Every structure is written in C-alpha cells, then in structure tokens.
Structure 1
C-alpha cells in the first residue's frame, strides 16, 4: 500500500511540475500539435501521404497504422476509460487557461497518446522513415496531455502501453489467423 501512495504522490508532483514549467512558446507548439492530432487528423493525414507516396509498402503501412489507431481508440476510450473513471487533475494545479478545454471523460488512460503510439508503432516496421517522422509528434502529444492538465503522467504511460499493445496485436493478427487456419 505504501508503494501505491508513493507512486500516486510522484504522479501528482510530476503533473504539477509539467503544467507549470514548460515555457509559453513550447506550450504553444505542444498545443498546435495536439490540435492537429485531435480526432486523429494528424495520423489520417500521415496515412494519406504514406499511401500516396509510398507505393504498396506505404499503403500497407498506412492501413496497418490506421487499424492499430482504431483498435487503440476502442480499447482506451470505449473500454478502459469506462472501467477506470479516474478524475482529471484538479484545475487549481494547472496555472494556465488550457485546463478549461479538457474533456469531461475519465483521465485514465490517455486516448490521444494511445492513438498516437499505436499508429506510430504499427507504421514503423513497414515504413521506418514514416515511423521515425511520426514518433516526434507522438511524443509531443504525450507531453502535451500532461502539460495541459488533461492527464496525469501515469495516464499517458498507460495510453502508450495500450497503443503499443494494439500495434503489436494488429501487426501479428495476420500471422495468428494463418496459424489458426493451418492447425
């Protein structure tokens, strides 16, 4: 029980520090990236570019990325958030006005992070350059979710785990299905 208390205290302390220590210019960049990622616009745009410019490998990576993103959104937003029902960080911890724009849904896990990580991790093996390019905004989305007061760091970490798991599952599903049919 003491370990849980220590963990929660660290989560709270990191949330307060992240919300108050990022310079205003960096916060604006983070907000712009998050706005592009809202409703998966950024990831859909990346998928269109990969499909248009990457040949059959680009199209395959785009479909894999979007499938993983959709799976991560279902798992994080439709399943985990309903089960966890964790409140967002208190408004008084967040010293800027972005706290007014956060959603009313459960804080745990971060659906934005889950989608960003799922897309990036699913794309990277088939299109390494695209995966590397997507990793930058995916990381910025994760940082922004804590900085804006929308999530605790543990929510973002859990969202990343959900995203990685969904990407792994989507990339492995064809092999699993083939094995099931052949056995």
Structure 2
C-alpha cells in the first residue's frame, strides 16, 4: 500500500464528501416525493365524500325496497319513521368508515333541499296517477294510488380529514 501525499489525501476527502452529498440529496428528493403521483390530485383522495355518496345512494335504494307501499298516504309519517330506522345503522357505519385514515364523515338529513325537491321536482303529468309530494325531514314521499311512495332522501355531507374539509349535498333516490 502506498502512502498518499497530502494533496492526494485532500482530493480523496473531497471526492468522498461529494459522493456523500450526492447520496443525501438523492435521499432527500426521494423522501419528498413519497406518496406523490403526478396523475392523482391528493385532495381527491383525502376526505373526499364520493365513496360515501355512492354508499348512501345504494343504502337508500335498498332501504326503500323494505318499505313497500304498505302505508296509506295518511300513514306517511310512519313510513318515513320506518325508513329512518332502517337507514340509521347504515348511515352510522358510513360516518365512522374511514376513521383509520383520520377522516370523519358528518351525515345529516337536508330538510331544506328535500323541501325544494318536493316542491320543484315532484313527478307529475297527465298520464300519471300521482298525488302530491311532501318532504318530511329530509325524506321526500309522494302519494301514489292512495299509498305512500318514497322518492328519496336528501343528505348534507361534511367529510373532514387532517388537511381538508369537503361539504356537499346529495339526493339519494329510492326505488322508482
């Protein structure tokens, strides 16, 4: 083994420092890009209520099947109460479904939107045998052939994560 001159030792130390600096810079850059993907907007993933909206729509569709038009129009509040009882465990499950990802979903009936829905978008026409629509809470019902038919449910959703809060209103339709 040969002894290095002071100049050669200095150059070796300088070369080692450059290699270490390059490795640290590469590691820091990789660390900053962990979890980053140019095709995905991170806000669309974190706290987005899209999955909850789809699940609510399916839940309302399924729950309205279990409340057939067995209620006369005079018993519409009982029909709404049965629907709320059927929906509550499903909605509660959705509220806490993403806690492990630190996302909380607040889900409530949207009474104002339901009233607008009943007033503006109630199915009618000369060939239909449909009666009036009524919003009871956030649930819209219609009189059809003397029975109670559930058109759907209007929900307000607020999804909150550590960095973002999304708020939306959704109309989940029942079985037509």
Give the TM-score of the pair, scaled to structure 1: 0.26
Larger RCO (CA within 8 A; separation ≥ 6): 1
Give the TM-score of the pair, scaled to structure 2: 0.26
**The structure with more helix, counted as a fraction of residues:** 1
